Structure 1
Amino acid sequence: MQDVLVVGAGPAGLSLVAALVEAGLSVQGLALADPAHPWPNTYGIWVDELEDVGLEPFLEHRWKDCVVHVNSGPVPLHREYGLLDKDRLQTHWLSQAEQQRVCWHRGKAVQIEHWPTHTQVTTEAGEVLTARLVVDATGHQAALVRRPKSAELSFQAAYGIVGQFSLPPTDPQQMVLMDFRDDHLTPAQSQDPPTFLYAMDLGDGVYFVEETSLAHHPAIAMETLSQRLHQRLNYRGIEVKDVHHVERCLFPMNQPLPDFTQRVVGFGGAASMVHPASGYMVGALLRRGPTLAKAIATALSSSSTTSDQVANQAWQALWPADRVRKHYLYLFGLENLMAFDAPQLHQFFDAFFNLPTDDWAGFLADNLSLPEVVQAMVGLFGRAPNPVRWGLMRSVFSHGHLLGRTLMS
């Protein structure tokens, strides 16, 4: 019997398998498709986040010139950004798994049975897999993890193109984290939910441009984002000359937290690890995976530890009380962002990215303590213009229950 069965072989699943074998555990995997199947999307990350976990060599591109554009002008970020070489990183994690003889099974989990010392998962083909702990890393529509249903899910959506253009869509060797300028929109369009451009110079005349909806309920349609992207480019006299790759992203920002008493432990989207106020998750996977793996290894080191106790310790490592409280604070921030109109969003992000870098960087990475997050938000309130302040104050009344969960969780 294996120590852990990991269900799912995307970035969350593979990164956790690598962390688990590094912690000395025996692991098997279950995935619908070949774990070596290429991942479809690009993954950007701040370079210092990769440096912290020793994975900086897996950057394919990096930019020192990073900027946010709002209607009042550019805001330089003074922080280096990178694009992961996803194929090399995937191969690296698969190689680590192969060296430790991780066996990958193919199929869909259709039944799960819990016993005091182990759990059995049965696949659609009738194969029975047994482990002391099961981890679900199958994404936002989790295969096994239970969580409350929500009718008010808000989604980040993006439509992007990697290709060549008649004119450069960014300055040379530049990464644009957010371009909220809306001068290309008609007056009627300017009343619609705002979107922004995420763009980067990939070198050799190739660029990545992506029109993104930060969060909205319901999700902004891909057709709308595609139309917005081409309208933005055309307004600046830019034509798409050659399309190398089209990217479509859609994921929920405010999934309810899972039931922390259940025997199956989640990781990644299955554990609601998306940062509610930014959509970031890759850095969280890289930082929190080893912590989770060590907690599981410690719990499994005693043969007398029940599977219920192992799962409980794993959930506590992944979602300690302080992180749960911060999660509700970030949800409060998300509600504010969705309530702001376009001028307020411009003012908000101008103020946010003019905070000390450690404050806005720590907020986005979720590596500040709760008091530090509160201090950063107080600093933002003091720096923001009155329309943003009034919006934040109104939100205290309409979404004060989230602040209450921050204090009481």
Structure 2
Amino acid sequence: MASCADVLVLGGGPAALCIASELHQRGVAVEGIALEPVDAPWPNTYGIWVDELKALDLEHLIEHRWSDTVSYFGAGGSGVADQTLVHGIDYGLFDRAALQSYWLKRADGVLWHQDSAERVEAGAEHTLVSCASGEVRKARLVIDASGASSPHIRRPDQGPVAGQAAYGLVGRFSAAPIRSGRFVLMDYRSNHLSEMQRLEPPTFLYAMDLGDGVFFVEETSLALAPGVSYNVLKQRLKQRLEHRGVQIIDVIHEEFCLFPMNLPLPDRNQPLLAFGGAASMVHPASGYMVGALLRRGPGLADTLAAVLADPSLRPAELARQGWQALWPTELVLRHQLYQFGLSRLMGFNESLLRSHFATFFSLAREDWFGFLTNTLPLPRLMAVMLRLFALSPWELRRGLVLGAAKRQEPEFRH
């Protein structure tokens, strides 16, 4: 049997490094179990509104920054003129290596075991983790930060989990796919699609100019269960580019993403704590999580460091205190509101979605920003949602209250 740590963290991605580093900074004896080396490069890109990092004094972690941030919600198949919606807030792309290094340096001294957690058993005094290697490790508290698909975290079954799927690539093109120096949050224009394709679940373009003739373009679906297939997204991206007279010249990197958007909150009575995707921290309205990790990690670590100082507390009580700190009533209620909103949007066709987002971004900047970052207090969030409802056209209001009528479409082809 290995020595006993205060906290054993499962996982080696952003969530795991974040909470391990915050606990280590507070003098907690932390170890980790990760399938891959924790300094291995991360494959996915992570975007964030710069004001989120400014509030945390972490702007130095940005590799690319755009002030020209826009979306397009006009010009479906109807010939409606293009309208550029200017957001007026800077957007940034994390320097993945810098973000990873930031957390690793703060976690310097944490012992990482390259292994896989096969079974987790909470006992009266310790929690035991049986690994694929045959090792059995123990800790006073185990935090599962291994992702949304972790088999160790209990959560209620509320039906299929909707995924925000995306296929993207970093590359060089025969012509600029978007305007130079620009970031496009959402481009819902669909005049590159056939009439039949417009009956299928809508997708949008997320794109950015990375400089030096390199662009990142990504075709994304909002949320569906099951998620839109990568093949469909790849084909739609190709069609979108070709419609603009743009050919892909060189693929530098491909990206495949699938974020769980309506994952139920975990059973917060279980003696195992979670953080990140395993704790349902993906924002149901945006699919973003890194900002939440940076904001909520320190508070959780403060609570855990305090309760771990009491040697009489057992794993179940430590986990209970952790769950209360991570998901207080205020955040649970906000999460439920976001889940309700997402359940309505998932039934919207392309026209309703374009109308919804155009209305949403007509809200005051601080309101839509706070909504997308989950930083609005509950009363303000409710007021913003009521304001959005009041501003919405009648058909959109009907969909928000009753749910949109089921799409009259063929079965979606995967």
| SS of alignment partner, residue 201 of structure 1 | strand
Structure 2 residue aligned with 1:78, among 85, 88, 106? Answer: 88
Aligned to 2:330: 322
Aligned to 2:24: 21
Write the distance in 2 (CA, Å) between the matches of 1:219 and 1:7: 26
Query: RMSD in angstroms over aligned alpha carbons?
Result: 1.5
Aligned to 2:383: 375
Structure 2 residue aligned with 1:124, among 123, 132, 144? Answer: 132
Deviations 1:59-98 (A, max 9, x none): 0000011001011511110111000000121122222222
Whether the 8 Å CA contact 1:150–1:256 is kept in 2: the answer is yes
Aligned to 2:43: 40
| SS of alignment partner, residue 297 of structure 1 | helix
Aligned to 1:236: 244
Following superposition, the deviation at residue 54 of structure 1 comes to 2.4
| SS of alignment partner, residue 226 of structure 1 | helix
Please tell me whether residue 4 in structure 1 is matched to residue 7 in structure 2.
yes
Following superposition, the deviation at residue 243 of structure 1 comes to 0.7
Q: TM-score w.r.t. structure 1 length?
A: 0.94
Following superposition, the deviation at residue 396 of structure 1 comes to 10
| SS of alignment partner, residue 149 of structure 1 | coil
Whether the 8 Å CA contact 1:156–1:216 is kept in 2: the answer is yes
Structure 1 residue aligned with 2:215, among 207, 215, 224? Answer: 207
Please tell me whether residue 392 in structure 1 is matched to residue 395 in structure 2.
no
- Letter aligned with residue 17 of structure 1: A
| SS of alignment partner, residue 384 of structure 2 | helix
Following superposition, the deviation at residue 371 of structure 1 comes to 1.0
Structure 1 window deviating more from structure 2 (337-346 vs 260-269): it is: 337-346
| SS of alignment partner, residue 188 of structure 1 | helix
Aligned to 1:312: 320
Please tell me whether residue 189 in structure 1 is matched to residue 192 in structure 2.
no
Whether the 8 Å CA contact 2:398–2:404 is kept in 1: the answer is no
Following superposition, the deviation at residue 150 of structure 1 comes to 4.4
Deviations 1:121-162 (A, max 9, x none): 121212121211100001011142111234421110000010
| SS of alignment partner, residue 346 of structure 2 | helix
- Which blocks of at least 5 consecutive residues in structure 1 are unaligned? 399-409
Structure 2 residue aligned with 1:160, among 161, 168, 182? Answer: 168
| SS of alignment partner, residue 274 of structure 1 | coil
Aligned to 1:31: 34
Write the distance in 1 (CA, Å) between the matches of 2:57 and 2:364: 25
| SS of alignment partner, residue 156 of structure 2 | coil
Write the distance in 1 (CA, Å) between the matches of 2:374 and 2:175: 37
Structure 1 window deviating more from structure 2 (107-116 vs 342-351): it is: 107-116
Following superposition, the deviation at residue 276 of structure 1 comes to 1.3
Please tell me whether residue 91 in structure 1 is matched to residue 101 in structure 2.
yes
Following superposition, the deviation at residue 268 of structure 1 comes to 0.7
Write the distance in 2 (CA, Å) between the matches of 1:336 and 1:342: 13
Distance 1:324 1:214, change over 3 A: same
Write the distance in 2 (CA, Å) between the matches of 1:228 and 1:113: 46
Aligned to 2:71: 68
Structure 1 window deviating more from structure 2 (145-154 vs 175-184): it is: 145-154
Aligned to 1:407: none
Aligned to 1:402: none
Write the distance in 2 (CA, Å) between the matches of 1:203 and 1:396: 41
- Letter aligned with residue 263 of structure 1: P
Following superposition, the deviation at residue 22 of structure 1 comes to 1.5
Following superposition, the deviation at residue 397 of structure 1 comes to 12
Please tell me whether residue 345 in structure 1 is matched to residue 353 in structure 2.
yes
Aligned to 1:295: 303
Write the distance in 1 (CA, Å) between the matches of 2:147 and 2:200: 30
Residue correspondences, number: 396
Structure with the higher fraction of residues in helix conformation = 1
Write the distance in 2 (CA, Å) between the matches of 1:27 and 1:106: 15
Please tell me whether residue 281 in structure 1 is matched to residue 281 in structure 2.
no
Whether the 8 Å CA contact 1:136–1:143 is kept in 2: the answer is no
Whether the 8 Å CA contact 2:122–2:272 is kept in 1: the answer is no
| SS of alignment partner, residue 210 of structure 1 | strand
Following superposition, the deviation at residue 384 of structure 1 comes to 1.6
- Letter aligned with residue 34 of structure 2: A
| SS of alignment partner, residue 179 of structure 2 | coil
Aligned to 2:150: 142
Whether the 8 Å CA contact 1:6–1:13 is kept in 2: the answer is yes
Deviations 1:345-379 (A, max 9, x none): 11111110110111111111111111111100111
Moved over 4 A (4+): none
